[in-house]
Amino acid sequence: MKEERNRLTEGAIAGKLIRFAIPVFLGSVFQQLYNTADALIVGRMLGSQALAAVSATGVLVILLISLFSGISTGAGVLVSKYYGARDDEDVSKGIHTELAFDIVMGCLLTLIGIFLTPIFLRWMGTPEEILPMSVLYLRVYYSGSICLVLYNGCRSIMQALGDSRHPLYYLIFSSVLNVILDYVFIRFFHGGVGSAALATVIAQFISAVLCLVQLSRTGEYRVSLRKIRFTFPILKEMLSYGLPAGIQTTVTYFANVVAQSFINSFGTMAIAGFGAYGRIEGFGFLPITCFAVSITTFVGQNLGAKKYDRARAGAKIGIISCFCLSLLVGLFAFTFARQLIGAFVQDGEAIRFGVEKMRVSAFFWAVVSLSHTVAAVLRGSGRSVIPMISMFFFWFILRLAILYVFMPIWHDIRILYWLYPITWVVSAVFLLFYFWRADWVHGFEKKGKLS
């Protein structure tokens, strides 16, 4: 009966989406606490230079994990499709193949992160005065990569099975632990930025363990250590859904790494101000995150069950709801920009940079919601190539073109303020046009076609 309640193929569409989305939203809040706790405690107790050191690593952290997180999304699409179709054998194969992939990729990411961190940070133009702290933070953080990758994989699996509650429970526990450890390590043991990263690693480890324990108890889809292996036809299908999503996110954050190098050229206070804005933006994007996950799972399960009209109706409800909520959140952030930025930094110049960036971008968060929710619909229908194309051309090529054409001519930070809103708008227009014109509800049947 519990597994039937988790199915999104029956019942009122809006009610099912909202009940699934609320735990995802709350879980995303606590996920943001991992990063925000570091920023608040580091900024308040260690100063703006330490905050800048942590902020300078943010896009690099996401860049190196984004490919694997995207492939976890593909695994979620695969599992939700088979779950909706009630194909128990392939659901089990999909789960165990995903876990095998996570273990291998987590180990690889650890090696890459630890050994190449100084090269990446120097390439980004990280100021010399914060470089040693940034290197230390990243190396400690990447030592726990396998925990982060495993947690993301397990969360995708549970959400694909319609269970958004257990990932929330585990994140609440581990996020509270992360905040406590941050404070204890810095306040009582006089640790630096490395201790903040260590607190995050410990919390992520506990999240991963709790998720694996839960999956080992889940009915007919129970995880068994003996079954964790690659089933190559399943792996191939998983990669066909997930690799485009991973590439999309990776190239997008590569552009963000380049943008960070331009931010770095304006000095430590600009880095701190943009870093503070980035923490708040993470919370501002929470409605987008929760609806994107919910829509992908809803569409995947219903298309797997061949309930095309229900999938189409759920997609429209999710897109509209997310847009309205993101608009309200953006209005709040615009109105209270100074207070929000001031919670992270005390230097007047850093606050100015953060507030100016906030007041340009906040109203465009609703536009971002359109790109992400439409992309979620397409991924849920097996058409992850289209969002990849959109993000590649508009969030990667266009951003790099703006940076390398205009910044050498006008070294003006306002270009960096407007860089993202411009590309958000163009991408949203493209994806909405495709959404209304394409027969995406038959995406699984027409796999490999673009229209």
Confidence at residue 1, expressed as pLDDT on a 0 to 100 scale:
42
Confidence at residue 371, expressed as pLDDT on a 0 to 100 scale:
93
Burial of 218 by CB count in 10 Å (0-12 exposed, 13-18 middle, 19+ buried)? Answer: middle
Report how far Cα 232 is from the mean position of its chain's Cα atoms.
27
**Structural element, H or E, at residue 115:** helix 88-123
Closest CA to 427 of 215, 203, 251: 251
Tokens of 16: 């099912």
What would the pLDDT profile of 291-307 be if each residue is shown by its tens digit?
Answer: 888 898 899 889 888 89
Question: Do residues 97 and 235 lie in contact, with contact meaning Cβ atoms separated by under 8 Å?
Answer: yes
| Of 332 and 383, the one with more pLDDT | 332
Taking the alpha carbons at both ends of the chain, their separation in whole angstroms is 38
What would the pLDDT profile of 267-324 be if each residue is shown by its tens digit?
Answer: 888 888 888 898 889 888 888 888 888 898 899 889 888 899 999 999 999 999 999 9
Cα distance between residue 328 and residue 371, in whole Å: 17
With both helix axes pointing from N to C terminus, report the angle between 131-142 and 58-84 in degrees, rounded to the nearest 10: 20
Looking at every residue in the chain, the average pLDDT score rounds to 84
Cα distance between residue 306 and residue 287, in whole Å: 28
What would the pLDDT profile of 229-261 be if each residue is shown by its tens digit?
Answer: 888 888 888 888 888 877 877 777 778 778 888
Cα distance between residue 138 and residue 183, in whole Å: 19
Report how far Cα 395 is from the mean position of its chain's Cα atoms.
15
Q: Mean pLDDT throughout 119-141?
A: 86
Cα distance between residue 232 and residue 241, in whole Å: 14
Angle at Cα 355 formed by Cα 362 and Cα 254, nearest 5°?
A: 65
Question: Do residues 292 and 375 lie in contact, with contact meaning Cβ atoms separated by under 8 Å?
Answer: yes
Closest CA to 398 of 262, 252, 277: 252
CA contacts within 13 A on the Cβ side of 189: 14
Closest CA to 110 of 80, 73, 154, 140: 140
pLDDT of 220 over the 70 cut: no
Amino acid at 323: F
Closest CA to 354 of 255, 405, 425, 278: 278
Domain boundaries, the chain: 12-442
Report CA-CA distances (Å) from 240 to 70, 104, 244.
Answer: 11, 18, 7
